[in-house]
């Protein structure tokens, strides 16, 4: 590992936290790629003039975040970078590509179902009427990141399973001439059910991020209603707040 790492001993920021931040930035910016080895704690401590417990604490904080993993007989290895998703009308597929990830999709369900009361209200459709349901598992570097369930009005566009696994839903909608204009979105968190835990590789009851979104086209028509769950160790939402006087 040849990284430009340094610590400022005059800073009030703890030394372990300074090191952890620099390592996390190196992972996010691709200087440390998934699968690469971090190196020996003793060598890193000597190089930076830090105690071994300080280096161990920095590394453990990134292990706790899911960015590093300790493998017996191998060492400390980079797992992946965490995706910070801006709150804007974009698809997870596009956000992952923009973050330098390698998104992959597994379509679990692609069918027509009767609209529940919740789905009918979101899409402005008749309860019990036909809606298209798509369930997908989104992965990066072969690991699950998010489970996505989306409902669309029938006949809106051709939802081919092969295309859904090759690209993002919003790209398919735009290619079909649908202009995505705005969305109403709610973000939350809850414990994983047994099924969600199994799909996402988490323990039952583990915390998950949730997102519910209704998307509208430029005519004001609801074109998609989605309920998504995300692994918080792999994913976060990023807000930009403006101060009004």
Quick: pLDDT tens for 121-179. Answer: 999 889 999 999 999 998 887 788 899 999 999 889 989 999 999 888 988 998 999 98
In the chain, which residues fall in CATH 3.40.1410.10?
83-238
CATH class of 15-78: mainly alpha
CATH class of 83-238: alpha beta
Measured between alpha carbons, how far is 207 from 55 in angstroms, rounded to an integer?
Answer: 28
- 68 is written with which tokens? 């590093």
Strand order in the sheet with 180-191: 103-114, 130-140, 143-152, 222-230, 207-217, 180-191
Measured between alpha carbons, how far is 30 from 81 in angstroms, rounded to an integer?
Answer: 8
Q: What is the pLDDT of residues 56-80, one digit of tens each?
A: 888 888 887 777 877 777 778 887 6
Measured between alpha carbons, how far is 149 from 63 in angstroms, rounded to an integer?
Answer: 30
In the chain, which residues fall in CATH 1.10.10.10?
15-78
Q: What is the pTM of this model?
A: 0.61
């Amino acid at each position: 590992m040849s990284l430009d790492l340094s610590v400022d001993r005059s800073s009030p920021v703890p030394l372990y936290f300074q090191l952890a931040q620099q390592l996390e930035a190196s992972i996010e910016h691709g200087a440390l790629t998934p699968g690469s080895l971090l190196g020996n704690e003793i060598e890193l401590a000597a190089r930076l003039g830090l105690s071994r417990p300080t280096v161990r604490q920095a590394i453990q904080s990134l292990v706790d975040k899911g960015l590093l993993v300790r493998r017996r007989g191998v060492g400390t290895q980079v797992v992946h970078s965490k995706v910070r998703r801006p709150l804007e009308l974009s698809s997870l597929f596009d956000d992952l590509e923009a973050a330098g990830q390698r998104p992959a999709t597994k379509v679990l369900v692609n069918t027509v179902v009767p609209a529940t009361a919740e789905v009918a209200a979101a899409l402005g459709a008749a309860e019990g009427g036909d809606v298209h349901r798509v369930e997908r598992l989104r992965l990066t570097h072969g690991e699950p990141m998010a489970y996505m369930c989306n409902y669309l009005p029938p006949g809106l566009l051709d939802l081919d399973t092969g295309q859904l696994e090759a690209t993002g839903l919003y790209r398919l909608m735009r290619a079909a001439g649908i202009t995505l204009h705005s969305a109403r979105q709610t973000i939350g968190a809850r414990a994983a059910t047994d099924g969600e835990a199994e799909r996402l590789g988490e323990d039952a009851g583990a915390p998950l991020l949730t997102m519910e979104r209704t998307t509208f086209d430029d005519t004001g028509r609801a074109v998609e209603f989605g309920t998504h769950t995300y692994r918080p160790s792999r994913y976060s939402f990023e807000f930009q707040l403006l101060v009004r006087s």
